[in-house]
Amino acid sequence: MALIKCPKCESEVSDTEKICPNCKIVLRENSKRPIIFLFVVISIFIIILLSVSFYMSNTKGMPKDMDTDTYNLGVSALSITDDFIDTKITLSEAQAKLESITSSLDQLYVTNKNKITLSVKADVTSISTSLKSSSTYKYTSSTVTEKRNLLAREIYKDLR
């Protein structure tokens, strides 16, 4: 504890006193402004940090030379393949969904003539073909996993 001078009566007062005992002037307010200010600053910093990380995560996901539709269809094919590998969907469900994606990629390629669309379609077709030609789940799982990883490399190539 130190002694300070009262700004009004200039008597010596403890620095812990809120009010001067002589002239009753308020020496310091019991203010929560610094705490509120700190809370606001930290909150703004967190919001900015979250916004930047959200922006960065969205912009890095899709390869530069791939259109949004191709990317979304490729990601859907990965999800379907993962669901099949994790036995969340049956073989026939996976085949039907992948056939639909292959058809959509076909139509998309006719429209955009993008070689990446053709490459993604080839990967999805390869997965679908592996599903059709297999007779045992173990064989299907390892082969499909390999084909799935090829598709994932194509879809997420700019993240490496």
Query: Which value, in Å, is the radius of gyration of the alpha carbons in the chain?
Result: 32
Question: pTM surpassing 0.75?
Answer: no
- Domain map (residue ranges) of the chain: 1-29, 31-60, 63-159
CA angle (77 as vertex; 74, 83 as ends), nearest 5: 145
Q: Maximum distance among all alpha carbons in the chain?
A: 97
Cβ–Cβ under 8 Å, residues 108 and 73: yes
Tens digit of each residue's pLDDT (9 = 90 or more) over 11-39: 888 888 888 889 988 877 655 667 788 88
pLDDT of residue 160: 43
143 or 7, which is more confident: 7
User: How much of the chain exceeds pLDDT 70, in percent?
Assistant: 84
101 or 150, which is more confident: 101
Per-residue three-class SS string for 112-137: HCCHHHHHHHHHHHHHHHHHHHCCCH
Please return the burial class of 81, using the count of CB atoms within 10 Å of its CB with bins 0-12, 13-18 and 19+.
buried
Cβ–Cβ under 8 Å, residues 8 and 20: yes
Give me the mean pLDDT over the 44-54 stretch: 85
